[in-house]
Amino acid sequence: MTPILAFVLGALATLGLVVLKSRTLGFQAQKAEDYATAGPQFDLRKHLDGPILCEGVVYGPMGRVTSRFVADMEARWDGNTGTMTEEFRYDSGATQSRCWTFTLGNDGAIRAEAPDLVGPGHGMQKGSGVHLRYRIRLPEDSGGHVLDATDWMYLMENGAIMNRSQFRKFGIPVAELVATMRPKVAA
């Protein structure tokens, strides 16, 4: 075997092990069923309804905080269809707006749409967890890249929601977001 062929085979084997690990052991490997009986029961129509305060950080590919944000959100439901507006304020002074439309199936399935999504997102609410996968196009001033996003929201005993999201390009993690969401108290 030539040294180049040995190197290529070793690189492919390593890549295969990394992919296998991420799909069976890591963040990406979670399933809604993992949370079916754990903790309080998360119902998007109840826990993401009305005015919501969100605070979070964005980590870059090297694991360092690249941005902090505060967001005011407002969610409303009509049966199994909901809309949620988000107004983000970043520590850089930048702002961003998004409006989601959610459709819930009777089995807990979620369909999500927003103007910056490439196609609809899909997910599931079960037990104390909500999972959502979608493709999102970044704003042009951020490169306009399309990233694969995986969101997990976990309902806490006090009604707060912990959100962890990972963003990937070509399967490689490029950013992570960690945020809290809770009902906004009138000032």
Closest CA to 181 of 71, 101, 44, 98: 71
Residue 16 falls inside a structural domain = no
What pLDDT digit, counting tens, does each position of 58-116 carry? 999 999 999 999 999 999 999 999 999 999 999 999 999 999 999 999 999 999 999 99
Residue 149 falls inside a structural domain = yes
Q: Which domain holds residue 52?
A: 31-183
Q: What is the pLDDT of residue 164?
A: 95
112 forms beta bridges with 102, 121
60: domain CATH number is 2.40.128.20
pTM: 0.79
Confidence of residue 18 (pLDDT cuts 50, 70, 90): low
Over 70: is that where the pLDDT of 23 sits? no
Residue 167 falls inside a structural domain = yes
- Residue 27 DSSP one-character state: G
**Strand 81-90 relative to strand 95-104, pairing:** antiparallel
CA distance 178 to 6: 40
CA distance 117 to 121: 8
Q: What is the pLDDT of residue 26?
A: 65
Count of domains observed in the chain: 1
Question: Could you tell me if 104 and 44 are in contact, meaning their C-beta atoms sit under 8 angstroms apart?
Answer: yes
Provide the mean pLDDT of the chain. 88
Residue 166 falls inside a structural domain = yes
Q: Count of alpha carbons within 13 Å of 8, Cβ hemisphere only? A: 5
Residue 60 falls inside a structural domain = yes
Over 80: is that where the pLDDT of 9 sits? no
43 or 11, which is more confident?
A: 43
Residue 7 falls inside a structural domain = no
Residue 15 falls inside a structural domain = no
Question: Could you tell me if 123 and 149 are in contact, meaning their C-beta atoms sit under 8 angstroms apart?
Answer: no
Residue 21 falls inside a structural domain = no
139 or 68, which is more confident?
A: 68
80 forms beta bridges with none
